[in-house]
Amino acid sequence: MNQLDALRQWTTVVADTGDFRQLAQFKPQDATTNPSLILKAVQKPEYRPLLDDAVRAHGKLAIDEVIDRLLVRFGTEILSLIPGRVSTEVDARLSFDTAATVARADRLVALYRAEGIDVEKRLLIKIAATWEGIEAARILEQKGIHTNLTLLFSFTQAVACGAAGVKLISPFVGRIYDWHKKSAGSAWDEAARSGANDPGVQSVRQIFDYYKRHGIATEVMGASFRNTGQIAALAGCDLLTISPDLLAELAASDAPLAHALDADAAKARDIAEVTLDEPAFRFALNDDAMATEKLAEGIRAFAVDAVKLEKLMQETR
């Protein structure tokens, strides 16, 4: 049994890509996208016609509406190849506007429904885990629209997401690892901070254990991996979203892979319940330099790529 098959014994495998032609090779249950992945995809010759078609058919609409139609086109293509759900992201520039996030999500949902997609079962609206984004997710979940809270770097964000009834969260393992490695500089010991001691892995484990201990239904999906060791250390997590390159590495390896995260064991642990209102959330997030920096950096990066995608689309008009 290769490592990818072994992982599937305990964890739902999700493909982190906009390159849907790769999906058949790895047979993931779900798939996730983001503006950066879509931008990367439409610059490839095999995917450029999707952008051209969106502009040709809807070019007279506002640019943000054309973008949404392109995102939904990618999403429906992905859904034709997988049995589960696709995550489609709301524009990161709306990350601090609850009402605008809800409105954009409603439009994406309407577009998917027009394509005949069962959105309650097959769509996750992806939103940055700011306070405003989490509040938008609360509203959407109450309407039966499921959400995936992304750019999640802290226990604080996870607690707030669980309290809001979010369907799924995506803690970013690799970016947490990156921050700690950069912060440590020459003192960083890669061997000592790998596997279960990786700071990104430890963050996901803390969230996973807390959710299971307190019966929080929100699914935990580790994301943003730098190597297969991080993935192996989280075997047993509800879901893991993995890039095609790392999926290929797992499929090519027959090294042993053990069950690392155990929901039943977590239920027996003594973990205090945490309650956060808005001021407490904002202070706790502010008090976590890594989470604050990485959240802001992630929103900026997604916003930059959204602008690049818009520019590419405008040049096509």
Name all domains of the chain by residue range, CATH numbers in brackets: 3-316 (3.20.20.70)
Q: What is the pTM of this model?
A: 0.96
Looking at the annotation, which residues are catalytic?
126
pLDDT band at 38 (very low <50, low <70, confident <90, very high): very high
Question: pLDDT value at position 24?
Answer: 84
DSSP letter string, the chain: --HHHHHHTTSEEEEE-S-GGGHHHH--SEEE--HHHHHHHHTSTTTHHHHHHHHHHHTTS-HHHHHHHHHHHHHHHHHTT-SS-EEEEPPGGGTT-HHHHHHHHHHHHHHHHHTT--HHHHEEEEEE-SHHHHHHHHHHHHTT--EEEEEE-SHHHHHHHHHTT-SEEEEBHHHHHHHHHHHHGGG--TTTTSGGG-HHHHHHHHHHHHHHHTT---EEEEB--SSHHHHHTTTTSSEEEE-HHHHHHHHH----------HHHHHTS--------HHHHHHHHHT-HHHHHHHHHHHHHHHHHHHHHHHHHHHH-
203 pLDDT higher than 90: yes
89 pLDDT higher than 90: yes
Q: What is the mean pLDDT of residues 157-184?
A: 98
